[in-house]
A and B are shown apart, each in its own frame.
Chain A
């Protein structure tokens, strides 16, 4: 069996920590997601934080905005990594879906998580 995917959540301020905590509370799985904040660091340090969180493992990296410092930092260091895929617009629904599908390939898990996240956006 291949290594399970690591989920890395990169957001502005305290958002990543809150999302990971909420996803763990809902799923009961406490070791699937690693939060990374851009607070209090320059671009180089943020890139180092992201690389440390991925740590060479196959991963899906979830980013809050589809532009800006977090996404630039992720893509700058990981865009050529075949074992890492990126999903923007992170929300709780996609993280909860992801933690239960970590045996998929990075591309499959990223596509699935993005679909779950989109599906959760409604105007009931």
Chain B
């Protein structure tokens, strides 16, 4: 009788997300891109820990198979899987899969008939109740049934004719599906918007530029420049339920490199933004890269830290930005607490009273070239960082990099990019940053060329999972940075790892190219 009741309950609740899970550190699920609203990507699980991780073993492999119309390159898994009730959901552009989180066995596959757009990557799904949501390169927000992958509705969220596309993982907050957009080929404005999870109807849209006539609008030379000023919203969004604020970064201003037509700070591009998710009204902004000229989108995760500064408990937010700077802010007010660098950055003259870097005009792109650090790929990029409340360290896979930035279009009215960078040198390392000071506690240099493009997971087992540039998935001691375990996956690690525990077995999942790998710490028999 007891088991019958259990079965009934399980059947009623199969693959249904309890909204409370989004507010808790992830244990038997990983219910959103970052695992919870904080963006810490910290697992409280300890079955895998620094004393036994050297025995971590392979539990399953799932290699995706995509029809050739998807193109030969688009099969790279950059999404962070979402796990609900023992089922895992992950994406590549135009495709969603559901697989068994214990075995990797495929349950269903959904293919979106694409009408175009840049297929550079998809960061994954969001889940509410029995439904999931994802964005497509041709600018649609699509809702599917978690049970069978059947489409419920789709809504256009941007315009491919203006060369927008969509790649972000949506975020669910209450009855809002928050979606960001991408695209910086033409000079179009960025925005973030919210949709009703039931109907898909748009609830609000917030443009990443000021209203004409406001003080912030004076950071542009003209309304025309501001309305074509870029600032896309393709990073991951975090949320503080107590303050009822969502946090996200905005991308590069337009024109991207040839900047003479947009002198000024170019708000609200390159900012960390706090918005009310119910109204779409901005609470505060902090600009990571005033007047950016190097494509250093400030879309890196704003990680929420409940910490202590000078003995006082503080609600903080930290970002390791693509431009090489690390910022800690008060997330209620946006006021700066710490500004430091976590990698080479030679482009700023200093830091202003607000804690924002002051760009050095000599390091703007030049007709004859400017040697700039970091390069376009950045000191960091979209791959998510991690913060461990156990060690108090912020972990980011970073690069020390140089390239030469040139103006290509020196005509009177450059548009689009009008320049770019070339060549370069890049060295990779995993940085562990003390959030209280912005100083490095340790730095683990990776061998191999170039900066790694993969995320980080930290756990209560004093382990950090990261990857080197040579296809190794690596576990390190979170306190000391000592490498403890590795698996060479034969292809570049391509997403941020996640972890969950089912039936006493803790799993760690990571993507490398077209394959998901499930590692597990099996109980002793």
Q: Do A and B bind each other?
A: no
